[in-house]
Structure 1
Amino acid sequence: AVLKAGAAYLPLDPAYPAARVAHMVGDARPALVLTTTGHRPPADTAAATPVLLLDTLDVQDQPSDNPVHALAPDQAIGGAPGTRAAQFTAISFDVSAQEMLSALMFGKTLVIPDEDVRRDAARFVKWLDEHEVEELFAPNLVLEAVAEAAVEQERALPRLRTIAQAGEALTLNRVVREFHASTPERVLHNHYGPTETHVVTAHTLSGAPDSWPLTAPIGRPIANTRAYVLGSGLELVAPGVVGELYVAGAGVARGYLGKPGMTAERFVADPYASEPGTRMYRTGDLVRWNQDGELEFVGRADHQVKIRGFRIEPGEIENVLTEHPHITQAAVVVREDQPGRTRLVAYVVTRETLRPEEAREFVRERLPENMVPSAVALLDSLPLTVNGKLDRAALPAPDFTPTGSGRETRTPQEQIICDLFAQVLGLPRVGVDDDFFELGGHSLLATRLIARIRAAFSVEIGLRTLFEARTAGAVAARLDTAGPARLALTKQQLPDAVPLSFAQRRLWFLHKMEGPSATYNIPLVVRLNGELDRAHVLVLVVHHIAGDGWSLGPLAADLTRAYTARVEGRVP
């Protein structure tokens, strides 16, 4: 009815809290609220906006003619009449409009599951089978759960011939391949498109699932859509080069209602359009063109992280984790549960018993050490939003609490090293046989720990020792074989020609290659007068160095806290 009236609608999920519904209605200021008796809006909302209860509506005196509208048949998604299609996604997810309209406008049968069935993968698979559903649209994590439940129940779902997903990267793990192999005629579609544009690209997977890639491409632009992969200066990047995806064409929204600033930031002029005034939408997604001329999703520009100086894409780690035969789903996030302690944490759903360290070792064998999660949390299922996407905010904090071995420390050395482990890791206590790296340790923390051990025992102990020993007890056992902390100074004969330092060699090389230049001249001298605030100067220096690409996050945090305490007068 809204479509035929030529209007726009704002979907309000009945599961939303009353305050959320009131905020959305107040923000959008709609002309009318359409609902039923069982889902009345909050009282203050009803007072400000007219409400029409559809279940009490008397249509006897209403016009029976079809409203005139400007829509054309080619503006909706087609399908064969009579097809039984599931209406799975929540009404607040833009895909729900695609599900409903493609059914209502082309004579399909729209089959709607109960909410309890929709949230239970095992019951949902049984429901799909009993209702002979032929088309299903759901996000990737839901499809993975459906595939796992179908394999466990030995339900091939032969009537389910068409599956489509959007909203997340489509990963094709072993269970998903096994499920699709059971019905070779089934076709899997990977759609891509943010809410601001809806679907803009598509890729179809068919044939033998064993030949499918681990992560499906998002495909080519659909009709009336243009896709640009651009650099930071809005320049087109070459195939194979990662850039940000910009979308233009008939499906791009007008903007954000009542938010001109946000609209100007995300909806920008299209420099490659033939018609003036054309805009494109900045998706914030990182993609690249592959050799087949299709787009591959790399990750989110705002999810890409930098840890200890390394730029990391969590999606790459997630793909590796799902290659493990016991892992069915994985999510990787960066957490800072303690100020200045940024950790990479993986959350996995397994089909068989798996120790967290096994998952970390699996990643370590395939990715650099800086991409190995500090912790792996085992979950029964990944938390999802009402739209079926990963709810990152609902992921629990990892438990770094040491399990301990039950053995008490036997020597003062073991106790001191246990205390040093706890200090560096930021834990209340560490057992003598607790693994440093299983407790969240990494290479930078290992370097800090080694420095403290050297200072405490006046011995020379290498970083390799910690990576090999891993526990306080094993490290203590190696102290007796460690050498002195410093080599004794002995008098040496001064050579006739003193060799240049590395910095001097660099200057000499540049001078020979470029000739005299002002590259290393000091361009400015500043004289500072007054009392020196050392803490403030240190913070500024550290921030400057960190801005040049150095990884000094923990040090910067420590100095910032020291400076704040100084300013607030909490320390002399």
Structure 2
Amino acid sequence: MQDTEREAELLEAERRLQAAQRAGDVAQPPTRSRAIGRDSGVRLALCERGREDHVPPGVPTIELAPVGAAAGAAGAAGPVASAHVPVTVRHPAYVMYTSGSTGAPKGVVVPHEAILRLVPHSNFLRLGPDDVVAHLSNTAFDAATLEIWGALCAGATLVVVPREVALSPYRLGRFLAETGVSVMFTTNALLNAIVTHVPDAFARLRVLLVGGDQYALAQIRRMLAAGAPEHLVNAYGPTENTTFSAAHEVVPADLDRGVIPIGGPIDGGYLRVLDDRLTPVAPGGTGELYVGGQGLADGYVGDPGRTCAAFVADPFAVVPGQRLYRTGDLVRLRPDGDVVFLGRRDDQVKISGFRVELGEVERVLGDCPQVGDHAVLAVTDAEPVQLVAVSTGPADPAEVREFLRANLPTYMVPARCHRLPTLPVTPNGKVDRAALLAALGRDPDPEPPAPADPPRPAGPPGPDGAAISDGAADSAGASRAAGRTGSGDVSGGASGAAVPAGDPVAAGLADIWRDLLGVAEFGADSQFFALGGTSIKALHLVGAVHRRFGVDLRIVTVFRRPSFADLAREIADLVRTEQRGNGDGPGRP
């Protein structure tokens, strides 16, 4: 298990041991980490002191010295002898876990050959020694494969983006300029948040790759108008085909049409758009996207059944034994051969770049005591998606969410939990999800919103697979669809002291909270995350504070002191410090 600062140890250990690695995410619950460790058959763990609860019992552990400690410091692991084990391109390089529809995460086994097809040179990206590649992604997110191995295989410079920088639009913009980053990947969720506050943040990049979830065309236009990177590439691909399967460089004609395709296959791979009979669809037709080629994973670790269901024989193979991976994505094949993403065939959604199967969240919800009948819904009418949990049992919604956050990664924990007398059903006895969402939207007295926790402080950057791991951007619409009325005391704490009257900082912060959280009333003791705040919304909060007051509120302050009163005092202190330094009058109105 490692944080972002431990990349050197991770890479050196993999090189010396010549073993497949599985990057752990210390931001997820230890119970989940141990279950994944057992499932993947981990034989040795590298972790810092205090992280041992993430390691399955009986697995040998090498304790890493604190970052920056001198060699030979107490607690540091001794020299690890290089192992001389023959390794071919067909040996596994890593195992990466994604959400599973059956209720358990799936471990995707990726061979070395698949990485070599991705980097350092492909038709969508060519890296060289002069490039500076940003490492923004969580190492448990497959975009890290492109960042780390792309830079190392090309002899480029790899720059690790600190968590604090990644979650501040203004600091990230300065960081990219100061470090000379030329190549970067980000999820669309993070891109949208950054462009909202610093539209020219990516103007100096040679290549900006975006993907992970649906794009927001308005934000793309805003970024290009403010300062476009030299190349903007829309990248698409499941973990089962090693990070990316298709790519398309965005051109003005895409903006004119209002549609950005996912493009055509990257080198070493191919795309097939097939109907339900596995027959190719004609240009202009709609079908399911199947991907194949050198990037295909070997399958799911220890699960031949799911492997056979997802990795199928290619009916048009030119080489015996070729396989295809069924993505579950519905696409349209354009006459020019490019592919346009339309949606999903199942209950899988993407939240800040992470794949989430509603079935996995529902299984964990069902393990909660006294939860009764239950369902998990995806509110998809705003970007990004929000999850909502609904149950009929006597379990308190706040306790239900605490149970979920103890057993699921942060990005999979529903933003809200509701308790209803019954769940509506369809004529065939299944939960009527459309009716349930409509009922929640009409509910005049919903349960108070469950606290939407910030990422666990010890964890590595997670969206979005990138730097953030949960929640939506600025969408009051999603909150209302999830049952929030937008008025009254919607969180524990609004009944405390009133927001100070006549205080310009408090008044300005109150305006920001109303815009971000979609609530009309709250008190001095109200908590940002209890009102529906998320890590992406925290990023927007930092950006809005900078615009309004001209000061840099640290993202860690939002996580550690999330009450309205504490944040108002912190901003007031920053404004006074700024005024003393500049000899100015009051902060910006």
Give the TM bin, normalised by the shorter chain. Answer: 0.5 to 0.7
The residue matched to 1:12 in structure 2 has which SS? Answer: coil
Any conservation in 2 of the 1:192–1:200 contact (CA below 8 Å)?
A: yes
- The normalised TM-score by structure 2 is 0.52
Task: Supply the distance in 2 between the matched residues of 1:63 and 1:400 (Cα, whole angstroms).
Answer: 57
Counterpart residue type for residue 204 of structure 2: R
Any conservation in 2 of the 1:85–1:103 contact (CA below 8 Å)?
A: yes
Residue in 2 that maps onto 1:84 = 132
1:31 aligns with 2:115: no
Matches within 5 A, 1:154-553: 155=200, 157-173=202-218, 175-184=219-228, 186-198=230-242, 199-206=244-251, 208=252, 211=255, 213-303=257-347, 329=383, 331=385, 339-340=423-424, 342-343=433-434, 386-388=462-464, 398-399=482-483, 401=485
Question: Alpha-carbon deviation of 1:401?
Answer: 4.9
Any conservation in 2 of the 1:136–1:164 contact (CA below 8 Å)?
A: yes
Structure-2 change in CA distance of 1:189 and 1:42 (3 Å) = same
Task: Supply the distance in 1 between the matched residues of 2:330 and 2:340 (Cα, whole angstroms).
Answer: 9
Q: Which has the higher contact order (CA 8 A, sep 6+)?
A: 2
* Counterpart pick for 1:48 among 58, 72, 86: 58
Task: Supply the distance in 2 between the matched residues of 1:93 and 1:278 (Cα, whole angstroms).
Answer: 27
Task: Supply the distance in 2 between the matched residues of 1:298 and 1:139 (Cα, whole angstroms).
Answer: 18
Question: Alpha-carbon deviation of 1:14?
Answer: 1.8
Any conservation in 2 of the 1:217–1:296 contact (CA below 8 Å)?
A: yes
Structure-2 change in CA distance of 1:402 and 1:388 (3 Å) = closer
The residue matched to 1:42 in structure 2 has which SS? Answer: helix
Counterpart residue type for residue 126 of structure 1: R
Structure-2 change in CA distance of 1:271 and 1:392 (3 Å) = farther
Structure-2 change in CA distance of 1:382 and 1:219 (3 Å) = farther
Structure-2 change in CA distance of 1:212 and 1:205 (3 Å) = farther
* Counterpart pick for 2:148 among 81, 84, 100: 100
Task: Supply the distance in 2 between the matched residues of 1:144 and 1:215 (Cα, whole angstroms).
Answer: 17
Any conservation in 2 of the 1:227–1:248 contact (CA below 8 Å)?
A: yes
Structure-2 change in CA distance of 1:39 and 1:109 (3 Å) = farther
Any conservation in 2 of the 1:335–1:343 contact (CA below 8 Å)?
A: no
Task: Supply the distance in 2 between the matched residues of 1:176 and 1:393 (Cα, whole angstroms).
Answer: 18
Any conservation in 2 of the 1:244–1:283 contact (CA below 8 Å)?
A: yes
Structure-2 change in CA distance of 1:67 and 1:117 (3 Å) = farther
Residue in 1 that maps onto 2:493 = none
Task: Supply the distance in 2 between the matched residues of 1:263 and 1:210 (Cα, whole angstroms).
Answer: 36
Task: Supply the distance in 2 between the matched residues of 1:190 and 1:66 (Cα, whole angstroms).
Answer: 39
Task: Supply the distance in 2 between the matched residues of 1:374 and 1:331 (Cα, whole angstroms).
Answer: 20
Counterpart residue type for residue 285 of structure 1: D
Structure-2 change in CA distance of 1:316 and 1:54 (3 Å) = closer
The residue matched to 2:292 in structure 1 has which SS? Answer: strand
Deviation track 1:508-540 (CA, whole Å, cap 9, x = no partner) reads: xxxxxxxxxxxxxxxxxxxxxxxxxxxxxxxxx
Stretches of structure 2 lacking an aligned partner (at least 5 in a row): 1-11, 66-75, 90-111, 122-126, 350-376, 391-417, 425-431, 456-460, 489-589
Give the root-mean-square deviation of aligned CA atoms: 4.3
Residue in 2 that maps onto 1:519 = none
Counterpart residue type for residue 159 of structure 1: R
**Stretch of structure 1 that moved more, 275-284 or 191-200:** 275-284
Task: Supply the distance in 1 between the matched residues of 2:45 and 2:348 (Cα, whole angstroms).
Answer: 40
Structure-2 change in CA distance of 1:4 and 1:203 (3 Å) = farther
Question: Alpha-carbon deviation of 1:229?
Answer: 1.0
Deviation track 1:70-89 (CA, whole Å, cap 9, x = no partner) reads: 46866623402132221001
Structure-2 change in CA distance of 1:288 and 1:332 (3 Å) = farther
Structure-2 change in CA distance of 1:98 and 1:234 (3 Å) = same
Any conservation in 1 of the 2:131–2:157 contact (CA below 8 Å)?
A: yes
Task: Supply the distance in 2 between the matched residues of 1:88 and 1:243 (Cα, whole angstroms).
Answer: 34
Deviation track 1:151-189 (CA, whole Å, cap 9, x = no partner) reads: 3xxx4554223110222133321x331222333452111
Rg (Cα) greater in structure: 1
The residue matched to 1:105 in structure 2 has which SS? Answer: helix
Identity of aligned residues (%): 32
Equivalent residue pairs, number: 354
Question: Alpha-carbon deviation of 1:392?
Answer: 7.5
Task: Supply the distance in 1 between the matched residues of 2:255 and 2:137 (Cα, whole angstroms).
Answer: 29
Task: Supply the distance in 1 between the matched residues of 2:327 and 2:263 (Cα, whole angstroms).
Answer: 16
* Counterpart pick for 1:13 among 19, 25, 49: 25
Deviation track 1:41-78 (CA, whole Å, cap 9, x = no partner) reads: 22862x4112223542444x845999875468666234
* Counterpart pick for 1:111 among 152, 159, 173: 159
Task: Supply the distance in 2 between the matched residues of 1:116 and 1:345 (Cα, whole angstroms).
Answer: 39
